Amino acid sequence: MGTFLVFPDPAPAELAQTLDLGGYAWKARNDGAAALDEPPDDGWAGAIVVGDEDIEGAFAFCRAIRKGERTLTPLLLLISGRQLGELEHRDDLFDDFCLAPFHPRELEARLRHLRHGDGEVTGPELIKYGPLALNIENYQAAIDGQPVDLTY
């Protein structure tokens, strides 16, 4: 599945929470070129760049990971509505964008859409809380990997 590269470091709390609850692996970095030089063991799954407070810093980060010998795709850019005009003539820096503040389900849908072209097989929708895992597609539950009977 890979790990998402997130800008900036530290990541905004709402983004970190959404990624954690969605079961996504992620690492925040401020230096895109250095992040490409030292990818995680499972590789980068893509990038999520937050630019609603520092749009110029976000575009610089996007350029660092999209304009060199090595590039990173897909790239999702999070911006505020007042920054929409800033996207003009910068289509090569991102694959999709989402307006901040974002709704967690919209962000997850956009991430799934971006990863769809990678041939990734998505698993069932799981909700995890500590040792408890609930599969909301087939109503199965497990604690520490052991199935739990929810009928009585």
CA distance 53 to 75: 18
Report pLDDT digits (tens) over 98-132: 999 999 999 999 998 887 755 333 355 778 788 88
pLDDT band at 31 (very low <50, low <70, confident <90, very high): very high
Q: Check whether residue 29 and residue 98 sit in a common domain.
A: yes
Instruction: Indicate yes or no: pTM above 0.85.
Output: no
Which of 6-15, 27-36, 82-91, 140-149 is the least confident region?
A: 140-149
Q: Do 107 and 129 share a domain, yes or no?
A: no
Q: Which residue has the tokens 């389900």?
A: 105
- Three-state helix/strand/coil letters over 4-72: EEEECCCCCHHHHHHHHHCCCEEEECCCHHHHHHCCCCCCEEEEEEECCCCHHHHHHHHHHHHCCCCCC
Q: Is 24 in the same domain as 66?
A: yes
Same-domain pairing of 20 and 33: yes
Q: Mark whether 91 and 29 lie in a shared domain.
A: yes
Beta bridge partners of 133: 128, 142
Residues 130 and 143 in one domain: yes
